[in-house]
């Protein structure tokens, strides 16, 4: 070996090692341990309901576009009606399950924001953290969510279930005489319900994403809320309810 050649050295057992490629780049494996927090009765039920909707919707689509052939038109109409009734039942069940929770949100919105009731406003915020910011903490925090945005989201989520009612009624009233069922009523109710549900679900997600991107701290202490000068104001930090000009100025300062 030449005298100037570097000597090969082995890494010291105490030297820091490179991070594992599996843990630093790739997410952890999906195992029963990592999935256990998400395997709740509620999630399992809605996942099963979603599976039924996907399968029934796929069968309905294939019947409508002719991917499945039938012996005569009557048999095809029967398959279309059965899959449509299954989808309608799934959508109606989902709306009924969400109806109490969304009705409570609407009540808290009317009482807390428009009725100037501090505990109701705070409860509405706690139910929809982080996107729902009914009160603003201090001058370093962002202003509260605009009243029109908050009202629009809550109304869209409620309209998603309300538009399901005329569709369900028309599907069940004309179940034995589906040829005379008003197609315009089913189509308009279905489209309106889907649009309201989509907008009412995506809008809060976009707000939460923007808040997370800006690094907004959504954890706020819970203290008493009092009424001062016609606005619901936090007792210690001066949090003001959404929609008040004073609160918007406070958050923007």
Q: What pLDDT sits at residue 23?
A: 45
What pLDDT was estimated at residue 57? 94
Instruction: Classify residue 237 as exposed, middle or buried by CB count within 10 Å of its CB (0-12, 13-18, 19+).
Output: middle
Task: Please count the other Cβ atoms lying within 10 Å of the Cβ belonging to residue 75.
Answer: 12
Q: How many other C-beta atoms can be found within 10 angstroms of the C-beta atom of residue 233?
A: 22
- Helix or strand or coil: residue 192? helix
CA 6 to chain centre: 62
pLDDT in tens, 75-88: 999 999 999 999 99
pLDDT band at 27; cut points 50, 70, 90: low
pLDDT digits (tens, 9 = 90+) for 126-170: 898 888 877 655 555 556 788 899 999 999 999 999 999 999 999
What residue spans define the domains of the chain? Answer: 23-252
Question: 3-class SS at 201?
Answer: helix
Structure tokens belonging to residue 173 = 């009233």
What is the pLDDT averaged over residues 208-224? 60
């Amino acid at each position: 070996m030449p005298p100037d050649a570097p000597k090969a050295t082995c890494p010291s057992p105490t030297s820091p090692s490179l991070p594992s490629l599996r843990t630093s780049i790739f997410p952890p494996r999906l195992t029963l341990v990592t999935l256990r927090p998400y395997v709740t009765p509620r999630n399992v039920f809605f996942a099963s309901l979603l599976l039924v909707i996907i399968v029934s919707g796929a069968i309905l689509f294939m019947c409508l576009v002719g991917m499945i052939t039938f012996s005569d038109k009557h048999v095809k109409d029967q398959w279309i009606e059965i899959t449509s009734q299954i989808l309608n039942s799934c959508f109606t069940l989902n709306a009924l399950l969400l109806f109490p929770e969304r009705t409570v949100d609407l009540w808290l919105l009317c009482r807390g924001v428009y009725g100037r009731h501090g505990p109701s406003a705070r409860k509405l915020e706690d139910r929809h953290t982080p996107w729902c910011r009914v009160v603003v903490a201090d001058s370093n925090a962002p202003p509260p969510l605009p009243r029109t945005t908050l009202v629009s989201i809550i109304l869209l989520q409620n309209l998603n279930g309300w538009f399901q009612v005329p569709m369900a009624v028309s599907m069940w009233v004309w179940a034995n005489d589906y040829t005379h069922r008003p197609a315009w009523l089913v189509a308009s109710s279905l489209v309106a319900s889907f649009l309201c549900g989509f907008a009412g679900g995506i809008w809060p997600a976009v707000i939460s994403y923007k808040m997370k991107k800006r690094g907004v701290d959504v954890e706020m202490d819970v203290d008493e809320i009092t009424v001062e000068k016609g606005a619901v104001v936090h007792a210690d930090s001066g949090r003001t309810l959404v929609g008040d000009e004073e609160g918007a100025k406070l958050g923007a300062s």
